[in-house]
Amino acid sequence: MKALSSPQDGIESGGGVWRFPADQPLRLDSGATLSPLEVAYRTYGTLNADRSNAVLVMHALTGDQYLASTHPVTGKPGWWTRVVGRGLPLDPDRFFIICANVLGGCMGTTGPGSTDPATGAPWGLAFPVITIADMVRAQAMLVEALGIETLFAVVGASMGGMQALQWAADYPDRIFSAVCIAGAARHSAQNIAFHEVGRAAIMADPDWRGGAYEAAGVRPEKGLAVARMAAHITYLSEAALQRKFGRELQRDGLSWGFETDFQVESYLRHQGASFVDRFDANSYLYITRALDYFDLGAAYEGQLARAFARARDVRFCVLAFSSDWLYSTAESRDVVRALNAAGCRASFVEIETDKGHDAIFLDEPALDSALRGFLASAAEKRGLA
């Protein structure tokens, strides 16, 4: 393990890349095994003496481990500095917070851009297709390697929320509580459709080269930017787009051409252009595929409640945003219904907001207070000071 430590506003911060030995391969749902497995992660705060204060935060589709640290590529603050920090719901003075780059990702954890030991070249499309459960299995290996038997909480939003549910299904004895924000128990037809558009855009880019772009010294930036633009619309509500941009123009008057006339066009193009600087096209293919394959109840003959049968001692918190049309509140309600049917303790909070799915990352005090309340109550039950 190569430790990287850099203080963040005086907060103890650590992490690095955990390299598992060849005799500890990752067994995948597809039947394949992956070795060597590397997991890149960051930590905030200090593990207490009885190792009971560890929280695993799981990121969304295009997130990474830079939860509360400056991003090494973009130079921007961590993606959840609203929630993670001194005096915030996830306080590093209280919790030992871990965030790992997801399996299949492009920020240090093994993914399609990693070296295939069989060829010495990047995996590309030879990388095995992975699932949300595989991602969680890799996280569980990291958590164990860090010497943590039971996590105080797994906390995730969007794809991270799905991982929180998968943790509860697969490792109920290793978590005390689970928070699923703006998640779902399965990917809907519309979700799959949007992902397919993104994949088609990437694969349509001649610089994608069947996934072997790295060897060719090119990158399918245009295709990846289009994928991001399409996806980004789904992160915002129509109301938020209307409020933020409406039909506001970039300049006085129309261009009578294909310049960016409208502010919303400029915003969307910027989202696409800046995304390709920090993300990898093949990772986007693999992670969207994992999401499409996600259907937590499917392994239990479609009875989602059975997925949670062993999780009766886990405290659940399910949060959803009223204007989220990517993972709607109806889908969160389905999760809560299944948790209740399984006899699990579940709090459900529907947060009224017009910010859509993106509310995860935005100033949404109701999210902060719901998280704070749930975690405080769970911490008390767990005997954390």
Known binding-site residue numbers for substrate: 228, 358
- The residue from 52, 158, 177, 237 that is catalytic is 158
Q: Is 246 in the site for its own copies (CB under 8 A)?
A: yes
Query: How many residues bind to its own copies according to rule CB under 8 A?
Result: 53
- Determine the Cα–Cα distance for residues 117 and 286; give it in Å rounded to an integer: 19
Annotation says 357 is catalytic: yes
Among 82, 199, 315, 357, which residue interacts with its own copies (rule: CB under 8 A)?
199
- Determine the Cα–Cα distance for residues 297 and 305; give it in Å rounded to an integer: 8
Q: Taking the complex as a whole, how short is the minimal distance between the CB of residue 82 and its own copies, in angstroms?
A: 25
Q: Is 78 in the site for its own copies (CB under 8 A)?
A: no
The residue range among 48-56, 57-65, 74-82, 192-200 that interacts with its own copies, by the rule CB under 8 A, is 192-200
Kindly state the tokens that stand for 176: 């005390």
Kindly state the tokens that stand for 193: 């459709």
Q: Helix H segments across the chain?
A: 132-145, 159-170, 189-204, 213-216, 221-235, 238-244, 263-278, 281-293, 304-307, 329-341, 365-382
Q: Is 251 in the site for its own copies (CB under 8 A)?
A: no
**Identity of the residue, 42 or 187, whose beta carbon is nearer to its own copies in the bound complex:** 187
Among 1, 73, 204, 216, which residue interacts with its own copies (rule: CB under 8 A)?
204
- Determine the Cα–Cα distance for residues 207 and 216; give it in Å rounded to an integer: 9
**Identity of the residue, 91 or 261, whose beta carbon is nearer to its own copies in the bound complex:** 261
Of all helices (H) and strands (E), which one includes residue 181? strand 175-181
**Which amino acid is present at 194?**
F
Q: Taking the complex as a whole, how short is the minimal distance between the CB of residue 37 and its own copies, in angstroms?
A: 19
Among 174, 187, 355, 357, which residue interacts with its own copies (rule: CB under 8 A)?
187
Cβ-Cβ contacts under 8 Å for 214 (sequence gap 6 or more): 113, 122, 124
Distance of CA 382 to the CA centre of its chain: 26
Among candidate residues 87, 289, 115, the one with its CA nearest the CA of residue 202: 289
Among 161, 272, 316, 379, which residue interacts with its own copies (rule: CB under 8 A)?
272
Q: Which residues are catalytic?
A: 158, 324, 357
Binding residues for its own copies, rule: CB under 8 A, are 30, 125, 128-129, 186-190, 192-194, 196-197, 199-201, 203-206, 222-223, 225-226, 229-230, 233, 236, 238, 241-242, 244-247, 254, 256-258, 261-262, 264-265, 268-269, 272, 285, 289, 292-293, 295, 325
